[in-house]
Amino acid sequence: MISKTHPRYESLLLREKITKAYKEGYLAESGMIAHGRGEAFDYLLGEKTIYPAKRAMYAAIAQMLLANNPVISVNGNTVALAIDDIITLAKTINAKIEINLFHRTKERIDIISDLFKSKGYNDILGNNNDDLKYINDIESPRASASTNGIYTGDVILVPLEDGDRAEILAKTNKKIITIDLNPLSRTSKMSNISIVDNIVRAIPFMNSIANDLKAQNKEVLKNIITDFSNSENLEESLDFFKIKEEK
């Protein structure tokens, strides 16, 4: 039990969820290390959702609502931190959910599948090896994708994604949306829409705006996307990182 008075209470709660996911067997070691990197960047961001992240989330939801086949890619970290909110988002914007693990093992896939089932979500993709294809014929686990999910999807939300895999996705014609606390990461730079925020704050915010945007017509949604520049938005996001304390 973490004391609520601990100066890092909220952060320690998330760390506990990540450790639990590892012990339950569906998170790779590298997922724990990645969580630590995220902690550091969130710490420098003041652990709050910044304005450029919100702007990116409006563009992200608009892009997904305009998609023919929007897919949310989930890995161990995403499931550990945000499974309930991910399911809500998928239902609200009518997106598929695909399990896509950089360190793919049958055991991890099965545990995550079962977790979704235990939440009443039975349509998960990516849990059947026979159904996997390789993006751009790159025969690497980094390029695998399920036939009706990421492989044929046109807009893919890939939170907390590895840089090598993001690079492969970015070379397709798909629109790639990421959630990544490091605005300088390869994933952030290569995505079409990069949300610099902690996933535990981002997905609930996206849920909070999704119904509003669903009520808009397509022109409004297209304008939101046209007005959005990812490189400028990343540049603005950088300004919010404070390594120096306020005097």
Q: Does 18 bind its own copies (CB under 8 A)?
A: yes
Q: Does 102 bind its own copies (CB under 8 A)?
A: no
Determine which residue in the list 4, 7, 122, 136 makes contact with its own copies, applying CB under 8 A. 7
Cα distance between residue 75 and residue 95, in whole Å? 16
CB of 149 to its own copies, least distance (A): 28
Q: Does 15 bind its own copies (CB under 8 A)?
A: yes
**Is 30 or 211 the residue whose CB approaches its own copies more closely?**
30
**Is 15 or 133 the residue whose CB approaches its own copies more closely?**
15
CB of 35 to its own copies, least distance (A): 5
How would you write the chain as a 3-class SS string?
CCCCCCCCHHHHHHHHHHHHHHHHCCCCHHHHHHHHHHHHHHHHCCCCCCHHHHHHHHHHHHHHHCCCCEEEEECHHHHHHHHHHHHHHHHHHCCEEEECCCCCCHHHHHHHHHHHHHCCCCCCECCCHHHEEEHHHCCCHHHEEECCCCCCCCEEECCCCCHHHHHHHHCCCCEEEEECCCCCCHHHHHCCEEECCCHHHHHHHHHHHHHHHHCCCHHHHHHHHHCCCHHHHHHHHHCCCCCCCCC
**Is 98 or 236 the residue whose CB approaches its own copies more closely?**
236
Determine which residue in the list 26, 35, 161, 194 makes contact with its own copies, applying CB under 8 A. 35
Q: Does 40 bind its own copies (CB under 8 A)?
A: yes
Number of shown-chain residues binding its own copies (CB under 8 A) = 31
Q: For its own copies, which stretch binds (CB under 8 A), given 21-29, 125-133, 141-149, 151-159? A: 21-29
Q: Does 48 bind its own copies (CB under 8 A)?
A: no
Q: Which residues bind its own copies (CB under 8 A)?
A: 7-8, 15, 18-19, 22-23, 29-30, 32-41, 43-44, 163, 182-184, 186, 238, 241, 243-245
